[in-house]
Amino acid sequence: MQRDEDVATLAQPELSSWMNALVDYVRSGEPDLTNRQMALLLVVYLRPGPHTVRGLARVLNVSKPVVTRALNRLGALGYLRRQRDDSDKRNIFVARTSEGADFLEEFGQFIGDGDHPPARAVEQQHVTA
């Protein structure tokens, strides 16, 4: 038990900041993305392309069908789109969209604002309840 308390104490500032960001994100009404969907979205936007399903599967260490399902959801939301390679029509690239860029910009603000009081109020309510 002492080890768990030590870990919680050491990681508390980082975990509290992340918790605050996630609580604010949940409250925002933005679409609820899975960790895999969010990781895929961030890889496409933060790493240089071109991005393919095969390459994304390799980066995330998941199967191509897992990437395809995530792309289906992210595509339906308008955050990513599939684009044919003009030089080889068999290849499909995963492309960024302005909607996806806007979403990540807003999400980045949740992380940047992760220390503000509103989300901490939830923690206080949980402790006193």
Query: Nearest-CA neighbor of 79 among 71, 68, 91, 87?
Result: 71
Q: What is the pTM of this model?
A: 0.74
Give me the pLDDT at residue 11, please: 62
What number does CATH give the domain 17-128? 1.10.10.10
pLDDT tens for residues 31-52? 989 999 999 999 999 999 899 9
Residues 6+ apart with CB under 8 A from 113: 20, 21, 24
